[in-house]
Structure 1
Amino acid sequence: MARMASAERRRQLTEAAIRAMTRDGVARTTTRSIAAEAGVSLSVFHYCFDSKQVLLESVIETITAHYIAVVKEAIRPKATLRETVRAGFQAYWDHVAAHPGEHMLTYELTQYALRQPGFEHLARRQYELYTETYTGLLEELRRTMGFELRVPVPALARYLAAMTDGLTLSLLVLGHDAASAAVLDTITDHVAGLVGDEAHIP
């Protein structure tokens, strides 16, 4: 087996865990099945992750990073704040539609962590990460588009995380339909109003 840097091996195992958990469910996925999915020995897995808790946190962070990269690319400043916000929500919506299993896994991880003694902190960490993500996106928008937020960043970031949670579950349950564009337009108008006045790129 070719030698691989520890960080790269952890990334490989995390992606393998996401695939295995998406396919088999969190509770039914074992360290052995993850190692097999990644094509490594069980000893390599335990060298990289000393507990299932550490692995699950890595899974949560990696799934979030998957769609945040897409959203960040989409919200490069457009002519107006509304157009920029709308592009971000569309990119996220498209990612959920393209990777439903991965997003379903996030809900399963939450339930698993809340029901498994000693894992409760992972559910809290999951939602803290969502809030931190929105905090960064809001700060980036404020920096690049030069407006003042109408709602304090901590409150707005937490609200957006909760709202996106519901939006995701709705798409997973109801699917993409004729009302989808109108839903995104309504959310965009609401969020743009909370974020700040319509502004043109300096």
Structure 2
Amino acid sequence: MARMPLAERRGQLTRAAIRAMTRDGVSRTTTRSIAAEAGVSLSVFHYCFDSKQALLESVLTTITDHYVAVVQEAIRPRATLRETVRAGLQAYWDHVAARPGEHMLTYELTQYALREPGFEQLARRQYELYCDTYAELLDRLGRQIEFELLVPVPVLARYLAAMTDGLTLHFLVLGDADATAGILDMIADHVAGLTKEH
């Protein structure tokens, strides 16, 4: 087996865990099955991750980082703040539609963390990560387009996290993609209504 830097090996194992958990579910995915998915020995897995919690946090961070990168790419100043916000929401939504299994996995990980003693902090960290991500995106947007928020950034960040979280779950359960565009329009309208452009 080729030697690989620790960070690369962790990335390889995290991607393998995402594939295995998306396919088989969190409770049926073992460290042995993740190592097999990655094509490495079990000892390599344990060298890279000292706990299941560390692996699950890496899985959540990797999934979130991927769709955040997609949204950041989409958030370029457009004619209006509303159009810019709508483009960012659409980029997030395109990620959901393209990778529903990964988003389903995030909900499964939340439930797992809430039910498994000692893992509750993982669920809390997951949702803090969502809110922090929206706060960072709003801050970035504020540097690109001059506007004044009429509500505190943490409040709007939590609102956006709750709205996109609920919309994602709604889609995963009902599969109603047609209703999504109108809801994203409404969220963009609401966000634009909570700002004053300069």
| Alignment TM-score, normalising by the size of structure 1 | 0.95
Q: 1:178 to 1:158 in 2, by over 3 A?
A: closer
Matched, 1:57 2:37: no
Structure 1: how far apart are the matches of 2:59 and 2:14?
A: 6
Which structure would you say has the larger RCO, counting Cα contacts within 8 Å and 6 or more residues apart?
Answer: 1
Matched, 1:42 2:37: no
- Identify the residue that residue 183 of structure 1 maps to in structure 2: 183
1:4-23 equivalences in 2 (<5 Å) = 4-23=4-23
Once the two structures are overlaid, the 10-residue window that deviates more, 113-122 or 176-185, is 176-185
- Identify the residue that residue 119 of structure 1 maps to in structure 2: 119
- Identify the residue that residue 69 of structure 1 maps to in structure 2: 69
| Alignment TM-score, normalising by the size of structure 2 | 0.97
Matched, 1:197 2:196: yes
Q: 1:25 to 1:159 in 2, by over 3 A?
A: same
Superposition misfits of 4+ residues, deviation over 3 angstroms: none
Structure 1 residue 76: deviation in Å?
A: 1.3
- Identify the residue that residue 129 of structure 2 maps to in structure 1: 129
Structure 1 residue 171: deviation in Å?
A: 1.5
- Identify the residue that residue 167 of structure 1 maps to in structure 2: 167
Q: How many residues align?
A: 198
Amino acid at match of 1:197: K
Amino acid at match of 1:107: Y
Structure 1 residue 2: deviation in Å?
A: 1.0
- Identify the residue that residue 153 of structure 1 maps to in structure 2: 153
Structure 1 residue 156: deviation in Å?
A: 1.2
Structure 1 residue 186: deviation in Å?
A: 1.2
1:103-114 equivalences in 2 (<5 Å) = 103-114=103-114
- Confirm or deny: 8 A CA contact 2:90 2:184 kept in the other structure: yes
Amino acid at match of 2:12: Q
**Can you give the 5+ residue segments of structure 1 that lack an aligned partner in the other structure?**
none
Amino acid at match of 2:6: S
- Identify the residue that residue 86 of structure 1 maps to in structure 2: 86
Q: 1:9 to 1:177 in 2, by over 3 A?
A: closer
**Can you give the 5+ residue segments of structure 2 that lack an aligned partner in the other structure?**
none
Structure 1: how far apart are the matches of 2:20 and 2:177?
A: 29
Structure 2: how far apart are the matches of 1:181 and 1:123?
A: 29
Structure 2: how far apart are the matches of 1:12 and 1:76?
A: 31
- Confirm or deny: 8 A CA contact 2:53 2:122 kept in the other structure: yes
Structure 2: how far apart are the matches of 1:123 and 1:81?
A: 32
Structure 2: how far apart are the matches of 1:73 and 1:96?
A: 16
Structure 2: how far apart are the matches of 1:190 and 1:148?
A: 14
